[in-house]
Homo-oligomer: A and B are copies of this chain.
Amino acid sequence: MTDNIERRGFLKRSATLGLGAAAAGTLAAPAIAQSAPNIRWRLTSGFPNNLDTIYGGAVFAAERVKAMTGGKFEIQVFQAGEIVPGGQALDAVAGNTVEIAHTCGYYFTGKDPAFAIGSAIPFGLNSRLQNAWLYHAGGNEAYDDFLKDHGVMARPGGATGSQMGGWFRKEINSLQDLKGIKMRIAGVAGDVMSRLGVVPQQLPGGDIYPALERGTIDAAEWVGPYDDERLGFYQIAPYYYYPSFWEGGLTIHFFINPGEWEKLPEEYKAALDTAFHAANINMQALYDVKNTTAIRSLVGKGAQLRPLPRDVMDEAYKQAFALYEEYSQKSPAWAKIYPDWKKFREEGFEWFRVAEFSYDSYVFGAQAANQQ
């Protein structure tokens, strides 16, 4: 381990709480609370409300903001499709059809691959390092700087942790077995998979089960045990692979109309931003509890857990980083954000290998061996 930590200098990163100015400002104007305006926002979620945990992140934040402002600042949450389809959520925020959206940046890589780097890219940061990068290593600032050109700003507002690698009708024992497989997978992950011989398919959640059942597709990735169990894939595609190399730590964001944000009183900005932080940690904790239960239940129902073969992981890794170099050529935003992100990833992984990973590695192994 020692040898991996190189003896060289480091970039000193600024790590600001980002709220000092607001806090100081409110001290000088203690009367604002009395004149707190009634504000109503509409939020479009990128998710259907039956995905209760990920959809629930917006509900959680809205409930907190309402409670903190005595009902004066109310955010009404709509599921995907109620106001606009999920794919138009960012345009709706930029055009002020809604003030705010709660969705995944990587849904919008059709506009620019840089949309994905704030949320999740293959072989990217895990959940802890996503938060570290976004909150305190310049990630959110870099992402916001890019989003400005698309008329929105963003704040982290949810996390799933490492997801599962999807459901397959047949076992995958090597890279060769992936050739020609029709898999429901999209975005950057779909780009990587297509380089491995997979034929990526885009299907909404509700269409996956019938497509798998009819054999129109051979495999599908969705989220993790809790959300996957409800869609019943284990009944028709029993091989459940891990991990999702494309979503090692998904961050869900709140995307906000900057003009509407600026109009808010400082108290409401602070309430919103604090509620976003709370929604982020709350969703991760909720998924970690629900998935712990669901994985046991799925195995009890016959799901067959399988690790993705090593040659699949290795080839995907190689192709992913080749793809990122190509993105640097065609997306100026990617070219700007990616080098710092990559450096943070390298150094963050080095540190995590020392204490965090060696702790997990020991206790996970010891618990399995000793059954205590």
In the complex, which residues 258-300 of chain A have their Cβ closer than 8 Å to any Cβ of chain B? Answer: 266-267, 270-271, 274-275, 277-278, 280-282, 284-286, 288-293, 295-297, 299-300
Question: Restricting to A302-338, which residues have a CB under 8 Å from any CB of B?
Answer: 304-307, 313-314, 317, 321
A71 contacts which of B12, B26, B282 (Cβ < 8 Å)? B26
Which residues of chain B come closer than 8 Å to A136, judged between CB atoms?
Answer: 285-286, 288-289
CA A68 – CA B270 in complex, angstroms? 5
* Interchain nearest-CB distance for A70 vs B (Å): 4
- What are the residues of chain B within 8 A of A352 when measuring CB–CB? 360, 364
Q: Are B67 and A306 in contact (CB under 8 A)?
A: no
- Which of A64, A68, A128, A357 has the most B CB atoms < 10 Å from its CB? A68
* CB-defined contacts of A31 to chain B, threshold 8 Å: 70
Q: Is the CB of A290 within 8 A of B131?
A: no
Residues A307 and B358 in contact in the complex (CB < 8 Å), given A29-B70, A285-B135? yes
Cβ of A84 under 8 Å from chain B: no
Q: Which residues of B contact A306 (CB under 8 A)?
A: 2
Q: A132 near B: Cβ within 8 Å?
A: yes
Q: Are B243 and A362 in contact (CB under 8 A)?
A: yes
Chain B residues near A284 (CB, 8 Å)? 128, 131-132
Q: Which residues of B contact A243 (CB under 8 A)?
A: 354-356, 358-359, 362
A372-B295 contact, Cβ under 8 Å, with A27-B71, A70-B32, A136-B286:
no
Among B10, B70, B135, B290, which residue has its beta carbon within 8 angstroms of that of A26?
A: B70
Whether A300 pairs with B9 at a CB distance below 8 angstroms is yes
Contacts A8-B296, A23-B63, A349-B363 known; 11 new A-B pairs at CB < 8 A = A13-B289, A13-B293, A30-B71, A30-B72, A128-B284, A136-B288, A137-B289, A163-B355, A242-B358, A288-B348, A307-B358
Chain A interface (Cβ < 8 Å from any Cβ of B): 1-2, 4-13, 15, 17, 19-20, 22-23, 26-27, 29-34, 36, 60, 63-64, 66-72, 123, 126-129, 131-137, 161-164, 224-225, 242-245, 248, 266-267, 270-271, 274-275, 277-278, 280-282, 284-286, 288-293, 295-297, 299-300, 304-307, 313-314, 317, 321, 342, 344-364, 366-368, 370-372
* 15 A-B interface contacts by CB (under 8 A): A1-B307, A2-B304, A2-B305, A15-B289, A68-B68, A68-B270, A126-B363, A132-B284, A162-B359, A248-B359, A274-B278, A280-B281, A288-B348, A295-B354, A321-B372
